[in-house]
A and B are shown apart, each in its own frame.
Chain A
Amino acid sequence: MKALDDRPTVVCNGMIGREAFTAKDREQNFYMIGSMGLGLSIAIGAAVSQPDKRILCLDGDGNVLMGAGVLASAGALGLKNLHHIVVDNEAHGSTGGQKTITDRIRLEQIAKASGYAYAERVEANELAEALPAFLEREGPAMLLVKVDEGNVKGIARVSHTPPEITQHFADATRVKGG
């Protein structure tokens, strides 16, 4: 989370949201605790509304699969200010690690075919090096990060109330610049 400067970030539900919260809570994060599959839609709405502000969606493979049609919306809208990081562990982490289907299906290829300006995959150990340049690319851009399955122990649930989260993200998104 440290590399993300101050850009407003929609964080999908499940373990990714809890891990992001535990690793480094940021006022700019919209922690989506329900509505699985809708993270990218929320990020698109913010990116369309604030074209001069860069918006990030921190997503997971289960979420992308559930809202896969929305990749085409992001591509069709050609949102230059939209960046999409997908943490792909090939599993539904928060419900017990059941397998998704991304061991066989490449989400970055679907994104490319859906009109993303950029969509590539990296291994977890390549992320730190790839991230700064990725975040400067013209969107819509996807960076898919392959990670091992398995949840870290001691991960907390997001402790802000949903209305507080709404307010934090609104405060971060409505200000000019960035």
Chain B
Amino acid sequence: MPKTTEFLEAVKANGYDFFAGVPCSLLKGVIRRFDEEPEWGYISAVREDSAMGMAAGAYMAGKKPAVFMQNSGLGVCLNAIVSLNVIYEIPTLIVVSWRGKDGQDAPEHLVMGEIMTDYFDGITLGEMKGLPWRILNPDTIEEDVAAITKEIDERKVPGALIVAKGILNASS
């Protein structure tokens, strides 16, 4: 059963107030709510790294940003994450879909699906070994959003909430 309402409530409760991204069918429910409810102020970005840049500007201007994307967008975002977010200490929540999970998907999603968590573990700098990530569990949504938020805020780095199929695909 989709958990979009519960997820959006958790996002709001954790203080997020700036939203940008590029859609994924696995996140369709969230994006539809953003479209239907303009008070979220969601910005439909042209590229995922542009959404990360906007989020960085918003963070410095006093907002708490969350960026939404398909995992294919992580490829686009690598330079933004390593040469903007990490070195400038700009925390951002990345809500990213997990296309290609368990090798079950269209060919273009298989590599990113396979290296999904390695991507975040592989971003290292001296003492910093990897960026925080958490796989969203439909039964512990509130706890998952709070936990990743705490880690992002304390470490001042971007971190990911990884979303598999069937959790945020419908708007209820």
- Are B84's CB and A38's CB within 8 A? yes
Give residues 29-73 of A contacting B (CB, 8 Å).
Answer: 30, 32-50, 53, 67, 69-70, 72-73
Q: How far is the CA of A94 from the CA of B7 in the complex (A)?
A: 45
- A174 lies within 8 A of chain B by Cβ: yes
In the complex, the chain B residue whose C-beta lies closest to that of A45 is B57
Among the 9-residue stretches B87-95, B103-111, B141-149, B162-170, the one with 4 or more Cβ atoms under 8 Å from chain A is B87-95
- A87 lies within 8 A of chain B by Cβ: no
- B140 lies within 8 A of chain A by Cβ: no
Interface size class of B (residues with CB under 8 A): 20 to 34
Residue among A34, A37, A38, A40 with most chain B CB within 10 A: A38
> B residues within 8 A CB of A173?
60-62
- B135 lies within 8 A of chain A by Cβ: no
- Are B88's CB and A163's CB within 8 A? yes
Give residues 1-49 of B contacting A (CB, 8 Å).
Answer: 18, 20, 41, 43, 45-47, 49
- Are A38's CB and B58's CB within 8 A? no
Among the 9-residue stretches A103-111, A117-125, A137-145, A164-172, the one with 4 or more Cβ atoms under 8 Å from chain B is A164-172
Known contacts being A34-B79, A45-B18, A166-B88, is A69 close to B47, with CB within 8 Å? yes
- A77 lies within 8 A of chain B by Cβ: yes
> A residues within 8 A CB of B152?
none
> How far, in Å, is B121 (CB) from chain A's closest CB?
21
> B residues within 8 A CB of A44?
53-54, 57
Q: How far is the CA of A92 from the CA of B41 in the complex (A)?
A: 36
- A10 lies within 8 A of chain B by Cβ: yes
- A150 lies within 8 A of chain B by Cβ: no
Q: Could you say which of A38, A39, A174 contacts B62, with CB atoms under 8 Å apart?
A: A174
Residue among B45, B46, B51, B61 with most chain A CB within 10 A: B61
Q: How far is the CA of A77 from the CA of B57 in the complex (A)?
A: 15
Question: Shortest 8 CB-CB distances between A and B: which pairs?
Answer: A45-B57, A34-B83, A41-B53, A45-B54, A38-B53, A49-B61, A69-B46, A46-B57
Given contacts A44-B54, A45-B18, A70-B50, 6 further A-B contacts (CB under 8 A): A35-B83, A42-B56, A46-B61, A69-B50, A73-B43, A173-B60
15 example contacts (A-B, Cβ-Cβ < 8 A) are as follows A10-B57, A41-B54, A41-B57, A42-B57, A42-B60, A44-B53, A44-B54, A45-B55, A45-B59, A46-B58, A48-B58, A69-B47, A73-B45, A162-B89, A174-B60
Taking Cβ atoms with an 8 Å cutoff, the residues of B that contact A are 18, 20, 41, 43, 45-47, 49-63, 65, 79-80, 82-84, 87-90
